[in-house]
Amino acid sequence: MPRIVVVDGFTLNPGDLDWQPIAAPGDLTIHDRTPPDLVLDRARNADIILTNKIPSSPPPTSSRSTARSPRKPQAWSTPHGSPP
């Protein structure tokens, strides 16, 4: 059963929608609002994360050691066409 986490449920559903269709395939946890510094903690171990307005990474001034910037894919060029 997948673990589904909604990190900003209020902006996704301010009260006029039914969460049941989203909850049906798994274990649903809804957080109405999540400050940016708690996004990683609340999303940890989730199989599915639903968000609307929460940034996907902490601001550059964050001191969190677990935060990582997205990396661009690297193209490898070797005589055999595989990574060194």
pLDDT tens-digit readout, 45-65: 999 999 887 765 555 555 555
Instruction: Read off the amino acid at residue 40.
Output: L
- Per the structure, the complete domain to which residue 8 belongs is given by 3-50
Q: Is 56 inside any structural domain?
A: no
In one letter, which amino acid is 11? Answer: T
Identity of the residue numbered 80: H
* DSSP class per residue in 46-70: -SEEE-SSS-SS--TT---TT----
Does residue 60 form part of some domain? no
**CA 73 to mean position of chain CA atoms:** 20
**Is 82 inside a domain boundary?**
no
Give the amino acid at 9: G
Q: What is the pLDDT of residue 20?
A: 92
Domain membership flag for residue 43:
yes
Whether the predicted model's global pTM rises above the 0.85 cut: no
Question: How many distinct structural domains can be found in the chain?
Answer: 1
